[in-house]
C-alpha cells in the first residue's frame, strides 16, 4: 500500500497552486533546470539572427566543430547593414557590410538553416517586423535575438528579449540559455486613448512617466482598457519602446486580436494547431492575486501627441507643452542628462516643441513602419506636399509591407507629396550605409532612439508618431497632426 503524498511534496502541484504572473508562467513552462534561486536554464522556441550581431557566435560554434542543435528554430535576416536605395537587385556597396551579409548566408548553408532572408529576398525586412509578419511568433513562446528590440514580440504574448553574442552561441549549440530571472512590473493603462493620440504617443508617455531606468531588470506586463483596445501594430510599437526603459521584456496577455494576427500571418497553420494554440493562449494571463514587484498606473485619456526634446527616449513632452527645465528635476542623474540633452539638441526650456524647424523626416524602423503606419502617413500626405527644404524618406518595415503598400497605391501618395520611396532595412534608424543625416540636421523620426549621434554625429533626432512625422514633413516644423487642417 502506498501512502498519499502530502501535496506540498509535489513541486509540480505546488507550482500550479501558487498565483503567478504571465511572465512566471512562460518562464516555468520553458525551464529545463533550475540552476539557483536567481537563474534557470531556459528553453528558447525561436531565435532570430541578423548579419550584424551573429558572426562571432556562428564562428564560435564552427570552431568547436559542433552542429546547430535545432536548425529549424532559427530565422536569419540581413537588415542592419543593407542600403535602402530603390534599386533592383539591391547592392551592398560597403565591403565590410557585404562580408557580413555573405557570412550570414554561408553560416545558414553550413548549419542547415533554411530560413534565410537575404538582400534580394522578396520578404526581406527589419527582423522585428519580419518575424511577426511571417507568423513565427506565437503566444507563450520564448523568442530571442541579438538585438534589444526583441521586446516587440511581447505584443503577441511571447517573452522576447535581446541577448549578447556569447548567449547567441549558447542558443545555437543548445537551444537553451542560462537565464537570470527578472522582476515583475505591471503597467496598467486605464481609460481610453483619445482619437487624437497614437500608440507611439502612449509609449513615449510611458517612458516619460517611468524614466529610462524605470523598468531596469524588470519584465513589464501591460494591462488595462487602453491596451486591449490597441490594434496589434500599436502593441508592437508599445512593446518595442519598452526596452528604452531598461525592460527585460514587455508582455501583453494574448487575446482574440493576437490570435487573429497569428492566423492571418502564419502560413500552413492547421486548424488543429490553431485550436491548440488558442486553448493554451487562454491560460496565458496573470492570476488575479499574482504578486508584482512594482505596479504603475497611467491614464490613457490624458495622452497627447508627443515628441522628445532631449537625447533619451524618456525626455519626452507633448508637442504643445513647454519643454521642461531640467534644473527643476529632483533626480540629479536626470537633471544632468536633461541639461546635456537640451544642449545637444540646441533647445531652450519653456518653448514648445511644436514649431521647431526640421530639415529631415524619416518614416521607418521596427517601431513604426508597418502597413498601418504607412496608411496613416499617406492619409495625411494625400493632396499635400513636403515643405521646401525638408528631405523626407520612407523605408517600409519589410519588402512585404512595401508590396502591400504599393498594391494600395500608397507609394504614389508618398512620391506625389515629395517623399523618397525606399526599400526596407534599419538604415537611417542607426545611420548605416550612407543612410545618414548631415551634421546639425534636425529630423522628425518614427524610430525609438534619439541618442547623441544616433543618426550621425551632430544630427538631432526627435522621436514622433508616423502621423506627426507626416504632418511635420508638410509644415517644415514639428507639428501636431491634429492641427494640420487648422493651421
Ligand atoms: C545593432 C543592435 C545590437 C542594436 C540593438 O540591440 O538594438 C540596434 O538594432 C539598435 O537599435 O540600436
Ligand atoms: S530598425 Fe532600428 S531599432 Fe529596429 S532593429 Fe533596426 S536599428 Fe534596431
> Nearest-5° angle of CA 426, CA 230, CA 298?
100
Q: Is 450 in the pocket of ligand 2 (CB under 6 A)?
A: no
Integer Cα distance of 386 and 334 in angstroms: 36
Q: Does the beta carbon of 454 sit less than 6 angstroms from any atom of ligand 2?
A: no
CATH number of the domain to which 279 belongs: 3.30.499.10
In a domain, residue 48? The reply is: yes
Measured in Å, residue 433 CA sits from the centre of ligand 2 at 14
Strand ranges in 51-167 using DSSP code E only, listed in sequence order: 74-77, 116-117, 142-145, 159-162
Residue 5 inside a domain? The answer is: no
Cell of 240: 518595442
- What's the confidence (pLDDT) of residue 15? 57
Q: Does residue 189 share a domain with residue 149?
A: yes
User: Are 86 and 206 contained in the same domain?
Assistant: yes
Is 148 among the domain residues?
yes
Which ligand minimizes its atom distance to the CA of 165?
Answer: 1
β-sheet with 176-180: strand ranges across: 31-36, 39-43, 176-180
293 in a structural domain:
yes
Q: Which of 281, 304, 327 is the last residue of a domain?
A: 304
Q: Are residues 64 and 106 in the same domain?
A: yes
| Binding-site residues, ligand 1, Cβ < 6 A | 52-53, 80, 147-149, 162, 430, 449
Beta strands in 281-340 (DSSP E): 294-299, 306-308, 316-318
Greatest alpha-carbon pair distance for the chain in Å reads: 89
Parallel, antiparallel, or unpaired: how do β-strands 218-223 and 249-252 relate? parallel
Query: For residue 368, what are the domain limits?
Result: 308-486
Q: Is the CB of 369 under 6 A from ligand 2?
A: no
361 with 293, same domain: the answer is: no
Pair type for strands 39-43 and 176-180: antiparallel
Q: Which atom of ligand 1 is nearest to the CA of 426?
A: 9
Q: Are 317 and 454 contained in the same domain?
A: yes
Nearest CA to ligand 1 atom 12: 430
Tell me the CA distances in angstroms from 61 to 142, 190, 216, 319, one per residue in order: 22, 47, 31, 49
Q: Outline where DSSP puts E strands in 275-406.
A: 294-299, 306-308, 316-318, 360-363, 391-394
Q: How far is the CA of 18 from the centre of ligand 2 (A)?
A: 38
Cβ–Cβ < 8 Å for 139, 110: no
Query: Which atom, in ligand 1's list, is nearest to the CA of 52?
Result: 1
CB 298 within 8 A of CB 473: no
In a shared domain, residues 249 and 332? no
- If asked whether residues 95 and 195 sit together in one domain, one would say yes
Residue 4 lies in a domain: no
For residue 162, the ligand 1 atom closest to its alpha carbon is 6
CA-based nearest residue to 343, from 225, 226, 460: 460
Please tell me the distance between residue 313's alpha carbon and the centre of ligand 1 in angstroms.
15
For 288, list phi and psi in degrees, rounded to 5.
-55, -35
* Same domain? 322 vs 361: yes
Residues 172, 63 contacting (CB under 8 angstroms): no
Identify whether 10 is part of a domain.
Answer: no
Query: How far apart (Å, rounded) are the C-alpha atoms in residues 13 and 30?
Result: 17
Count structural domains, the chain: 2
**Boundary of a domain, candidates 265, 284, 304:** 304
Instruction: Assess whether 158 and 277 both reside in one domain.
Output: yes
Q: What pLDDT score was predicted for residue 20? A: 98
Dig out the grid coordinates for 200 from the structure: 507611439
Question: Closest residue (by CA) to atom 4 of ligand 1?
Answer: 147
Domain end, chosen from 279, 304, 329, is at 304
For residue 26, the CA-to-ligand 2 centroid distance in Å is: 26
> Complex ipTM, two decimals?
0.99
The pLDDT tens digits along the chain (487 residues) read 333 433 444 555 555 678 999 999 999 999 999 999 999 999 999 999 999 999 999 999 999 999 999 999 999 999 999 999 999 999 999 999 999 999 999 999 999 999 999 999 999 999 999 999 999 999 999 999 999 999 999 999 999 999 999 999 999 999 999 999 999 999 999 999 999 999 999 999 999 999 999 999 999 999 999 999 999 999 999 999 999 999 999 999 999 999 999 999 999 899 999 999 999 999 999 999 999 999 999 999 999 999 999 999 999 999 999 999 999 999 999 999 999 999 999 999 999 999 999 999 999 999 999 999 999 999 999 999 999 999 999 999 999 999 999 999 999 999 999 999 999 999 999 998 788 998 999 999 999 999 999 999 999 999 999 999 999 999 999 999 999 976 5
Report the pLDDT value the prediction gives residue 487, as an integer from 0 to 100. 52
The pLDDT score that the predictor gives to residue 365 is 98
Bridge partners for 420 per DSSP: 393
E strands in 294-387? 294-299, 306-308, 316-318, 360-363
> Do 176 and 208 reside in the same domain of the chain?
yes
One domain for residues 289 and 313 = no
Asked whether residue 244 falls in the same domain as residue 267, the answer is yes
Phi (first) and psi of residue 483, to 5 degrees: -95, -5
Q: Is the shortest distance between the CB of 126 and ligand 2 below 6 Å? A: yes
Q: Could you give phi then psi for residue 221, rounded to 5 degrees?
A: -115, 125
Question: Does 12 fall in a domain?
Answer: no
Amino acid at each position: 500500500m502506498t501512502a498519499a503524498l502530502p501535496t506540498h511534496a509535489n513541486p509540480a502541484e505546488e507550482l500550479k497552486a501558487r498565483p503567478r504572473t504571465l511572465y512566471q508562467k512562460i518562464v516555468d513552462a520553458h525551464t529545463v533546470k533550475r540552476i539557483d534561486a536567481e537563474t534557470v536554464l531556459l528553453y528558447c522556441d525561436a531565435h532570430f539572427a541578423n548579419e550584424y550581431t551573429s558572426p562571432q557566435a556562428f564562428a564560435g560554434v564552427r570552431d568547436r566543430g559542433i552542429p546547430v542543435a535545432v536548425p529549424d528554430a532559427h530565422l536569419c535576416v540581413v537588415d542592419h547593414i543593407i542600403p535602402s536605395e530603390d534599386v533592383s537587385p539591391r547592392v551592398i556597396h560597403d565591403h565590410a557590410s557585404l562580408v557580413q551579409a555573405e557570412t550570414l548566408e554561408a553560416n545558414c548553408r553550413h548549419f542547415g538553416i533554411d530560413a534565410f532572408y537575404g538582400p534580394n529576398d522578396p520578404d526581406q525586412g527589419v527582423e522585428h517586423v519580419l518575424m511577426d509578419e511571417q507568423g513565427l511568433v506565437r503566444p507563450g513562446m520564448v523568442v530571442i535575438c541579438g538585438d534589444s528590440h526583441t521586446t516587440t514580440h511581447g505584443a503577441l504574448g511571447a517573452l522576447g528579449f535581446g541577448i549578447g553574442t556569447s548567449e547567441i552561441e549558447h542558443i545555437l549549440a543548445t537551444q537553451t540559455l542560462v537565464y537570470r530571472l527578472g522582476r515583475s512590473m505591471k503597467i496598467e493603462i486605464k481609460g481610453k486613448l483619445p482619437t487624437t493620440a497614437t500608440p507611439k504617443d502612449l509609449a513615449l508617455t510611458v517612458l516619460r512617466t517611468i524614466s529610462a531606468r524605470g523598468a531596469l531588470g524588470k519584465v513589464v506586463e501591460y494591462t488595462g482598457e487602453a491596451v486591449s483596445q490597441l490594434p496589434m501594430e500599436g502593441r508592437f510599437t508599445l512593446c518595442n519602446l519598452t526596452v528604452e526603459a531598461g525592460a527585460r521584456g514587455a508582455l501583453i496577455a494574448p487575446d482574440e486580436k493576437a490570435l487573429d494576427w497569428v492566423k492571418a500571418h502564419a502560413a500552413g497553420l492547421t486548424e488543429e494547431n490553431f485550436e491548440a494554440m488558442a486553448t493554451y493562449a487562454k491560460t496565458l494571463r496573470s492570476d488575479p492575486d499574482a504578486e508584482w514587484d512594482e505596479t504603475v498606473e497611467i491614464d490613457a485619456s490624458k495622452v497627447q501627441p508627443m515628441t522628445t526634446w532631449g537625447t533619451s527616449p524618456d525626455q519626452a513632452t507633448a508637442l504643445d507643452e513647454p519643454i521642461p527645465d531640467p534644473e527643476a528635476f529632483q533626480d540629479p542623474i536626470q537633471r544632468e542628462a536633461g541639461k546635456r540633452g537640451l544642449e545637444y539638441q540646441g533647445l531652450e526650456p519653456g518653448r514648445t516643441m511644436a514649431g521647431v524647424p526640421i530639415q529631415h523626416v524619416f518614416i521607418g524602423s521596427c517601431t513604426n513602419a508597418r502597413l498601418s503606419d504607412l496608411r496613416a502617413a499617406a492619409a495625411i500626405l494625400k493632396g499635400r506636399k513636403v515643405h521646401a527644404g525638408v528631405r523626407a524618406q520612407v523605408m517600409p518595415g519589410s519588402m512585404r509591407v512595401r508590396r502591400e503598400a504599393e498594391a494600395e497605391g500608397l507609394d504614389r501618395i508618398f512620391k506625389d507629396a515629395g517623399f523618397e520611396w525606399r526599400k526596407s532595412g534599419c538604415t537611417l534608424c542607426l545611420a548605416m550605409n550612407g543612410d545618414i543625416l548631415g551634421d546639425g540636421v534636425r529630423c522628425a523620426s518614427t524610430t525609438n532612439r534619439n541618442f547623441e549621434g544616433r543618426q550621425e554625429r551632430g544630427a538631432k533626432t526627435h522621436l514622433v508618431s508616423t502621423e506627426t512625422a507626416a504632418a511635420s514633413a508638410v509644415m517644415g516644423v514639428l507639428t501636431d497632426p491634429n492641427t494640420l487642417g487648422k493651421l
